[in-house]
């Protein structure tokens, strides 16, 4: 494909012999297609000129040279070199001319003799021909001298051989024709086109890797550095100009690519120490047309990867991994519950494992969520699992995850377990006392090593989690009967929080009931009956033992809200009979609450609620009436009633 006019290739031709005249004759032929410049230089002079001009950013795409000049440039020049090479036709034309000058002709060529001349003996009948080859000027001089000593009259060869023949008194014929030189320039133009495309490709690649956060270095097949990006310069603290051309092993032995160049096999995501830094390194062989031509090294700081991993897991985590409760939301003013809140607030500021114990329904998960939300991991996932809700095999895969094919029916691609899902956050192991003894060993190892091994995998995954566990079992008794490991118990029982049952803090029944009933009535669309309902219920609620604790209390109040939602038109009609039908467990004792009849107890409780609300409103009767859902006159009437004084 020809160059566009504005992209004409620049070809430099070097010769200090007769070839220069042929090159100068050929240059104008390509004036419209290429810029061909001819230099009267050889060896070191040509190389020095080439280097100085290319280093000065003067554009050049390819060199043209012949013989020893070309061989020297090809080994040392910074751009492609097209060598002027003799064809059989060129040799025959030169020999035909030489036959007119003498019958004994010597061919002195650079590096090699011309093959196939025997096939042309009929054309060269009557001419004695001998061939010699040379590498250095001294060898060319010796070859010409030998031919002269044997009575040869004409020398055919490159410019240096012709010059030596003239000095020895022999006739000479230049081996290179105009057609030969033109063919070489054509080849140089093709090389220039390829070199330009390669240069554009390298520039595009450099532009891409310059904007990659990873440190990247590319080497050739000899492990010499061909390209580095700013990240690699920063990693080594050395500029790219100082690194180019040097062997990577000599610059940073720890990052050597020699093994990859020997084996041709990639080494992906391996850990590597470089001084005090820990890197994740990938070594990748590069092949061109199936031939190994170099390798690429990429490095990432392991701390950066951990930050990215943490942010990705945080960004992509399901929204269900969120803690909703705060410690301030734990209702109650009794001494036992104040102790629970105080311990939870202290432990929230630490990273130690918390073990929450207490009967079922006491609010252990609420305490766990409050600890999470009060700590430094509040913006990270809170992952809860009820260990008693899964069979052993399923619990193992839920906690630790599995690889693809780990068992029949496993998800394609595998699955991360809940420990991995909780990375950088908190995992709440509810009912940890119900973990099967066979799984307790694996759980203990995760807590000790902070690494998770998925089912079917041999590669552990590091995790950063805070562990909060809870149980309604007496773990010491479980240890005594061999159902729980003592080493796991001591790993869990670092920061213990015993949550008391509701019967041990009867003073908290009223405020808890008020908060729960308010929410329940609001959900069912009857919030205005709260004072009336509380006044009716509290005497019965406070005398009950609550074996199901707060969970049972919540269930009872939900039933009351449903009852009032069906009596919304006539809430006054809800009385003891309706309560007995809906809440039989509260009436199992058969006796009414002490301190008078049911109506008196109900009115006393209603008065207590009214006075508390008035106090909360700072004596503002309008605000108190609004909060209680009654009129202002009704509020005054209830306060003036003789039985309430």
One DSSP character per residue, 428-475 reads EEETGGGS-HHHHHHHHHHHHH-EE--BT-SS-EE---EEEEEESS-H
CATH topology for the 88-175 domain: Rossmann fold (3.40.50)
Share of the chain above pLDDT 90, in %: 19
Above 70 in pLDDT, residue 44? Answer: no
Q: Which CATH number fits domain 5-85+181-191: 3.40.1160.10, 3.40.50.2300, 3.30.110.30, 3.30.230.10?
A: 3.40.50.2300
Which of 457-466, 498-507, 577-586 is least confident?
Answer: 577-586
Q: What is the pLDDT of residue 3?
A: 43
Specify the pLDDT at position 497. Answer: 95
Least confidently predicted of 119-123, 576-580, 597-601: 597-601
Amino acid 2: pLDDT: 42
Average pLDDT estimate for 376-387: 91
Mean pLDDT score across all residues of the chain: 81
Confidence class for position 484, pLDDT limits 50, 70, 90: very high
613's enclosing H/E stretch is helix 598-616
Over range 225-235, report the average pLDDT. Answer: 85
Question: Given pLDDT bands bounded at 50, 70 and 90, which one contains residue 280?
Answer: confident
Q: Strand, coil or helix: what is 382? A: strand
Residue 604 or residue 102, greater confidence: 102
* Residue 603, pLDDT score: 65
609 pLDDT more than 80 = no
User: What average pLDDT does range 392-416 have in this prediction?
Assistant: 70
Please give the C-alpha separations between residue 264 and each of 257, 272, 541, 634, in angstroms, as whole numbers.
10, 20, 78, 92
Give the pLDDT score at 120: 67
Q: Token digits for 582?
A: 């809906």
Answer for the pair 297, 231: CB distance below 8 angstroms, yes or no.
Answer: no
CA atoms of 239 and 230, how far apart (whole Å): 8
What's the average model confidence in pLDDT over 469-485? 93
CB contact at 8 A, 172 and 161: yes
Of residues 628 and 285, more confidence is placed in 285
Identify the burial level of 211 via C-beta atoms within 10 angstroms of its C-beta, where 0-12 means exposed, 13-18 middle and 19 or more buried.
Answer: exposed
Phi, psi of 629 (to 5 degrees): 75, 30
As given in the structure block, the two tokens for residue 420 are 């991995």
Q: Which residue has the tokens 């377990």?
A: 417
484-491 long-range Cβ contacts below 8 angstroms, 24+ apart: 484/433, 484/437, 484/440, 485/437, 485/440, 485/441, 485/444, 487/444, 488/440, 488/443, 488/444, 488/447, 491/353, 491/444, 491/447, 491/448
Highest mean pLDDT among 71-85, 229-243, 618-632: 229-243
Residue 595 pLDDT class (50, 70, 90 cuts): very low
d(CA 570, CA 526): 11
Residue 541 is encoded by which pair of tokens?
């609620």
Give the HSE-up count for residue 398: Cα atoms under 13 Å, Cβ half-sphere. Answer: 17
pLDDT beyond 70 at 450: yes
Task: Locate CATH 3.40.50.300 in the chain.
Answer: 327-500
Average pLDDT over residues 397-408: 71
Pairing between strand 277-288 and 291-301?
antiparallel
The class of domain 327-500 in CATH terms is alpha beta
pLDDT of residue 311: 54
Average pLDDT of the residues in 220-242: 85
pLDDT at residue 310 is higher than 80: no
Contact between 14 and 73 under an 8 Å Cβ cutoff? The reply is yes
Tokens of 522: 């609001």
Q: How many CA atoms lie within 13 A of 12 on its CB side?
A: 25
**Residue of higher predicted confidence among 406 and 156:** 156
Contact (Cβ atoms closer than 8 angstroms) between residue 158 and residue 22: no
pLDDT bin (cut points 50, 70, 90) of residue 315 is low
pLDDT of 188: 87
Per DSSP, 224 falls in state B
Look at residue 627 and tell me whether its pLDDT is greater than 50: yes
Cβ atoms of 37 and 55 closer than 8 Å: no
CATH 3.30.450.20 location in the chain: 212-304
Q: Answer whether residue 638 shows pLDDT above 60.
A: yes
CA distance readout (Å), 228 to 55, 206, 327? 19, 8, 54
CB-based contacts of 226, cutoff 8 Å, min separation 6: 218, 219, 220, 244, 294
Pair type for strands 401-402 and 277-288:
unpaired
Per-residue pLDDT for 473 more than 80? yes
The ranges of the chain annotated as CATH 3.40.50.10660 are 88-175
Domain 212-304 homologous superfamily, CATH: PAS domain (3.30.450.20)
Six-digit token string for 555? 């269930």
Rounded to whole angstroms, the maximal C-alpha distance in the chain is 154
pLDDT class of 596 with cuts at 50, 70, 90: very low
Order across the sheet with 277-288: list the strands: 225-228, 215-220, 291-301, 277-288, 267-274
Q: Which of 457, 434, 431, 435 is nearest to 444 (CA)?
A: 435
**pLDDT for 164 beyond 70:** yes
Say yes or no to pLDDT of 66 above 60: yes
430 in Cβ contact with 386 (< 8 Å):
yes
Which stretch, 195-209, 458-472, 572-586, 595-609, has highest mean pLDDT?
Answer: 458-472
Q: Annotate 591-602 with DSSP letters as a single string.
A: PPPSSS-HHHHH
CATH 3.40.50.2300 in the chain, residues? 5-85+181-191
Question: Which of 87-96, 202-211, 498-507, 528-537 is most confident?
Answer: 498-507
For residue 215, the model assigns a pLDDT of 85
Degrees, nearest 5: CA angle 72-78-83: 45
pLDDT at 47 over 70: no
Which runs of E-coded beta strand occur in 543-634? none
pLDDT for 170 equals 92
Report which of residues 220 and 595 the model is more confident about: 220
Q: C-alpha distances in angstroms, 102 versus 97, 152, 156, 158?
A: 9, 8, 11, 18
Q: Are strands 81-84 and 104-110 parallel, antiparallel or unpaired?
A: unpaired
Closest CA to 377 of 385, 368, 386: 368
Examine the pLDDT at 462 and tell me if it is beyond 60: yes
63 near 188, Cβ under 8 Å?
A: yes
Q: How many residues does the chain have?
A: 645
* pLDDT at site 33: 87
Predicted confidence (pLDDT) at residue 543 exceeds the cutoff of 50: yes
Q: Is the pLDDT of residue 1 over 50?
A: no
Which pLDDT does position 642 carry in this prediction?
46
Going by pLDDT thresholds of 50, 70 and 90, the confidence category of residue 4 is: very low
pLDDT at 630: 72
Contact 66, 175 (CB under 8 A): no
| 110 half-sphere exposure, CB direction, 13 A CA radius | 22
What is the rounded distance in angstroms from the CA atom of residue 280 to the CA atom of residue 304? 10
Could you give the percent of the chain with pLDDT greater than 70?
Answer: 82
Q: Tell me what the mean pLDDT of segment 485-507 comes to.
A: 92
């Amino acid at each position: 494909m020809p160059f566009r006019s504005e992209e004409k290739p620049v070809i430099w031709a070097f010769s200090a012999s007769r070839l220069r005249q042929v090159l100068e004759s050929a240059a104008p032929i390509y004036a419209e297609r290429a810029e061909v410049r001819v230099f009267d230089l050889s060896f070191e002079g040509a190389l020095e000129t080439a280097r100085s001009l290319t280093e000065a950013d003067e554009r050049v795409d390819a060199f043209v040279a012949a013989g020893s000049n070309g061989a020297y440039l090809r080994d040392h020049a910074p751009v492609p070199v097209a060598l002027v090479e003799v064809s059989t036709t060129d040799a025959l034309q030169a020999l035909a001319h030489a036959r007119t000058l003498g019958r004994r002709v010597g061919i002195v060529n650079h590096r090699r003799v011309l093959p196939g001349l025997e096939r042309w003996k009929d054309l060269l009948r009557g001419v004695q021909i001998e061939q010699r080859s040379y590498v250095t000027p001294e060898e060319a001089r010796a070859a010409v001298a030998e031919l002269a000593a044997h009575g040869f009259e004409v020398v055919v060869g490159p410019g240096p051989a012709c010059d030596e023949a003239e000095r020895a008194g022999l006739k000479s014929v230049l081996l290179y024709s105009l057609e030969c030189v033109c063919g070489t320039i054509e080849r140089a133009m093709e090389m220039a086109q390829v070199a330009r495309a390669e240069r554009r490709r390298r520039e595009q690649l450099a532009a891409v890797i310059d904007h990659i956060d990873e440190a990247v270095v590319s080497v050739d097949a000899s492990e010499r550095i061909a390209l580095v990006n700013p990240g690699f310069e920063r990693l080594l603290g050395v500029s790219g100009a100082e690194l180019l051309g040097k062997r990577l092993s000599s610059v940073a032995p720890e990052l050597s690519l020699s093994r990859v160049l020997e084996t041709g096999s990639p080494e992906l995501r391996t850990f590597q120490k470089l001084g005090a830094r820990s890197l994740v390194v990938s070594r990748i062989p590069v092949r061109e047309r199936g031939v190994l031509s170099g390798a690429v090294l990429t490095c990432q700081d392991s701390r950066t990867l951990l930050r990215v991993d943490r942010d990705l897991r945080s960004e992509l985590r399901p929204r269900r991994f969120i803690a909703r409760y705060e410690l301030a939301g734990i209702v109650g003013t009794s001494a036992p519950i104040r102790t629970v809140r105080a311990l939870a607030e202290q432990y929230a500021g630490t990273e130690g494992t918390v073990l929450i114990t207490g009967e079922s329904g006491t609010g252990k998960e609420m305490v766990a969520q409050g600890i999470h939300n009060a700590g430094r991991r509040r913006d990270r996932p809170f992952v809860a699992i009820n260990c008693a809700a899964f069979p052993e095999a399923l619990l193992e895969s839920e906690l630790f995850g599995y690889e693809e094919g780990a068992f029949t029916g496993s998800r394609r691609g595998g699955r991360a377990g809940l420990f991995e899902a909780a990375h950088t956050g908190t995992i709440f192991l509810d009912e940890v006392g119900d973990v099967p003894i066979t799984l307790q060993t694996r759980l203990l190892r995760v807590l000790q090593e902070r690494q998770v091994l998925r089912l079917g995998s041999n590669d552990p995954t590091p995790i950063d989690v805070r562990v909060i566990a809870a149980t309604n079992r007496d773990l010491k008794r479980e240890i005594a009967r061999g159902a729980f490991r003592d080493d796991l118990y001591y790993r869990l029982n670092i920061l213990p929080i015993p949550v008391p049952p509701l019967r041990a803090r009867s003073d908290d029944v009223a405020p808890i009931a008020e908060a729960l009933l308010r929410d329940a009535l609001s959900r069912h669309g009857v919030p205005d009956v709260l004072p009336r309902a509380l006044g009716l219920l509290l005497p019965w609620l406070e005398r009950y033992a609550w074996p199901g604790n707060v969970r049972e209390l919540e269930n009872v109040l939900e039933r009351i809200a449903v009852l009032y939602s069906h009596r919304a038109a006539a809430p006054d009609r809800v009385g003891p009979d309706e309560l007995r039908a809906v809440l039989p467990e509260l009436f199992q004792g058969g006796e009414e609450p002490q301190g008078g009849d049911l109506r008196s107890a109900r009115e006393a409780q209603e008065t207590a609620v009214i006075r508390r609300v008035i106090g909360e409103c700072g004596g503002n009767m309008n605000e108190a009436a609004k909060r209680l859902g009654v009129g202002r006159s009704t509020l005054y009437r209830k306060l003036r009633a003789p039985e309430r004084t």
